[in-house]
Amino acid sequence: MSDECRHEDCKKVNDLLSEFLDEELKGAVLLELKEHIEKCPDCHLNVDSVRKVIRLYRDATECDCPVDIQIRLKDVIRRAREEETGR
């Protein structure tokens, strides 16, 4: 399907995609959207790929601080503490 023949509803899905993924939609809007996504391959794809991107970022994220940086941070805090108690 080319871009020109994208339906109004597809545009709506594109606009509300984030709120849909974040489960912020309710009632008739949600129902309507869900129905359309189920029968429209383009929208299915649109939703899936964005979901995938979010998951990729979440999974690839490291949360450890390099050790040398941790050591220097401790140092900085220790010096600040000394300055404060030295006064």
Partner 1 sequence: MDPSDDTTLVQQAKAGDEAAFAELVERHQGRVYHHALRLMGSAEDAEEVLQDTFLQVFRNLDRFEERSRFSTWIYRIATNEALMRLRKARRKREVFLEDAFARDGEHAVEQIRDFARSALDDVADTEIRAALDAALAELPEEYRVVFTMRDIDGLTNAEVAEVLEISVPAVKSRLHRSRLYLRDRLSRTFRDSSGADVRSEGRHSG
Rg, Å, the chain Cα set? 24
| CB closer to Zn ion, 15 vs 82 | 15
32 touches, from Zn ion, partner 1, none (C-beta below 5 to 8 Å by class)? none
| Residue 13 contacts residue 46 (beta carbons within 8 Å) | yes
76 is an interface residue for partner 1 by CB under 8 A: yes
Q: How many CB atoms lie within 10 A of CB 60?
A: 7
Q: Which does 43 bind (CB under 5 to 8 A by kind): Zn ion, partner 1, none?
A: Zn ion
Residue 50 near partner 1 by CB under 8 A: yes
